[in-house]
């Protein structure tokens, strides 16, 4: 009788322990949710305070960005202009250049690795490509500013173009190379996931390997590839250090890749480094830009993940 009692007791104690541990585990997995909530709330809160000072329409549609608010109220240009359009075009211009580099390089590398290369070559090349992703972005920024930008300027002036010393092209090229492994490894996965039977059917009809890849494998893999390119674009939009070091500060509304443009991330960094009071429109503007960046990348990610997921279901 007494033994049964002790068993039930210890059983109960065990249950309490189980519950406590389960509670700790749930709390830990909520850390990620809390982080997202924290991001959304802190950005929203500061952005709302910014929009109390600057109209949201001016921010979203204004064509001029010069966040210098005056120290004295009678100074010239005291109000500052907070139109985000030049920043958005700058960001899109640099990201477009980056994707122009990364998409073909990444996709062709992935095709070669998945379809042509021997497994030995794959084992060597894949980690080397991944190294490109492992190198900190500050290194790319330094390299872009030190080597690529002067090279483009010299080459451009030699060819008779007017090239800014901090051109969008230099930052975009460096960023493109950085993103290659992201595109290639994701595309590689999707291409490898295309069932062999499709290839065999194509070969059976007499198609060459290149024809099979172009007309059978790629069309089957296209949703996944699109997803990987969207993910890479979102990465390019949010990239900070390369553009801080290699792109300009002047907010210029242009689509000329040889001009200096600035991006959302560059402006966040310039607005928030250095000393300033926390409540000025200038600092709050950084949070509004941060919110814009967060929403844009989030939408791209959700679409990309959705596309990839839909594609996976097709062949499973």
Partner 1 sequence: MTDLITKSDGRLKGRHAGERRFKAYGMIAILISLGFLALMVSTILYQGFPAFKRNLVGLDINFDAVVIDPDGNRESSALRSANYTKLARASLRGLFPDVKKRRDKRKLNNILSSEVGYELRAMVLADHSLIGSTKRVWLSASGETELYFKGYISADLPEDQRRLDNDQIGWLDTLAHDGRIQTRFNTPFLTSGDSREPELAGILGALLGSFLTLLVCFALSFPIGTLAAIYLEEYAPKSRLNRLIEVNINNLAAVPSIVFGLLGLAILLNTFGLPRSTPLVGGMVLALMTLPTIIIASRASLRAVPPSIREAAMGIGASKTQTTFHHVAPLAMPGMLTGAIIGMAQALGETAPLLMIGMVAFIVDLPTGITDAATALPVQIFLWADSPERGFVEKTSAAIVVLLVFLIIMNLAAIVLRRKLEIRW
Task: Provide the minimum distance between the beta carbon of 303 and partner 1 in the complex, in angstroms, as a whole number.
Answer: 11
Six-digit token pair at 133?
């992703």
Of 111 and 281, CB closest to partner 1: 111
Pick out residues in 45-104 that bind partner 1 (CB under 8 A): 45-46, 104
Binder of partner 1 out of 48, 81, 108, 218 (CB under 8 A): 108
* C-alpha separations of 170 from 33, 42, 149, 192, 256 in Å: 37, 34, 5, 33, 12
What does the alpha-carbon distance between residue 46 and residue 39 come to, in Å, rounded to a whole number? 11
Could you say whether residue 162 binds partner 1 (CB under 8 A)?
no
Q: Which position among 193, 280, 297, 312 is part of the footprint of partner 1 (CB under 8 A)?
A: 297
- Considering beta carbons, is residue 69 or 283 the nearer one to partner 1? 283
Q: Does 203 contact partner 1 by CB under 8 A?
A: no
Q: Which stretch binds partner 1 (CB under 8 A): 63-71, 157-165, 187-195, 282-290?
A: 282-290
In angstroms, the CA 68 to CA 47 distance is: 18
User: Which one among 7, 8, 9, 30 touches partner 1, defined by CB under 8 A?
Assistant: 30
Tokens for 13, please give them: 């104690």
DSSP summary character for residue 82: E
Exactly one of 33, 71, 76, 159 binds partner 1 (CB under 8 A); which one? 33
Angstrom CA distances, 44 to 41, 222, 266, 268, 290, stand at 5, 36, 20, 15, 9
Half-sphere exposure of 263 (CA within 13 A, CB side): 26
Q: Which residue has the tokens 């949710």?
A: 33
Q: Strand ranges (DSSP E) for 5-158? A: 65-66, 81-82
Considering the complex, state which of residue 51 and residue 294 has its C-beta at the smaller distance from partner 1.
294
User: Site for partner 1 (CB under 8 A): how many residues?
Assistant: 86
Least separation in angstroms between CB 147 and partner 1: 6
Footprint of partner 1 on 211-270 (CB under 8 A): 211, 213-214, 231, 234-235, 237-241, 244-245, 265, 268-269
* 310 part of the interface to partner 1, by CB under 8 A: no
Of 146, 201, 249, 310, the one binding partner 1 (CB under 8 A) is: 146
Q: How far is the CB of 202 from partner 1 (least distance, A)?
A: 13
* Intra-chain end-to-end CA distance of the chain, in Å: 56
Beta bridge partners of 82: 65
What six digits make up the tokens of 153?
A: 């300027």
175 close to 239: Cβ distance less than 8 angstroms? yes
């Amino acid at each position: 009788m007494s033994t049964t009692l002790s068993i039930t007791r210890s059983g109960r104690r065990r249950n309490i322990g189980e519950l406590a541990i389960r509670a700790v585990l749930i709390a830990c997995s909520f850390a990620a949710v809390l982080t997202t909530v924290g991001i959304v709330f802190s950005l929203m809160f500061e952005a709302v305070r910014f929009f109390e000072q600057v109209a949201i329409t001016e921010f979203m549609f204004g064509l001029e960005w010069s966040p210098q608010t005056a120290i004295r109220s009678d100074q010239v240009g005291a109000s500052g202009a907070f139109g985000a359009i030049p920043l958005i075009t700058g960001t899109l211009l640099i990201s477009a250049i980056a994707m122009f580099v990364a998409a073909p390089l990444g996709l062709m590398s992935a095709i070669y690795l998945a379809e042509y290369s021997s497994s030995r070559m794959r084992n060597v090349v894949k980690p080397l490509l991944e190294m490109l992703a492992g190198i900190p972005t500050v290194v790319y920024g330094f390299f872009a500013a030190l080597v690529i930008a002067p090279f483009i300027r010299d080459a451009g002036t030699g060819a008779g173009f007017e090239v800014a010393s901090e051109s969008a092209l230099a930052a975009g090229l460096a960023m493109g190379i950085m993103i290659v492994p992201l595109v290639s490894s994701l595309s590689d996965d999707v291409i490898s996931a295309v069932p062999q039977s499709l290839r065999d059917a194509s070969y059976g009809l007499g198609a060459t390997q290149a024809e099979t890849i172009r007309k059978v494998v790629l069309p089957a893999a296209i949703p996944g590839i699109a997803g990987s390119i969207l993910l890479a674009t979102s990465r390019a939009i949010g990239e900070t250090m390369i553009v801080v070091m290699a792109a300009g500060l002047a907010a210029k509304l242009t689509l000329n890749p040889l001009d200096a443009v600035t991006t959302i991330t560059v402006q966040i960094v310039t607005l928030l480094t250095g000393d300033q009071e926390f409540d000025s429109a200038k600092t709050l503007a950084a949070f509004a830009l941060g919110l814009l960046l967060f929403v844009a990348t989030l939408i791209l990610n959700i679409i990309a993940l959705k596309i990839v997921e839909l594609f996976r279901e097709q062949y499973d």
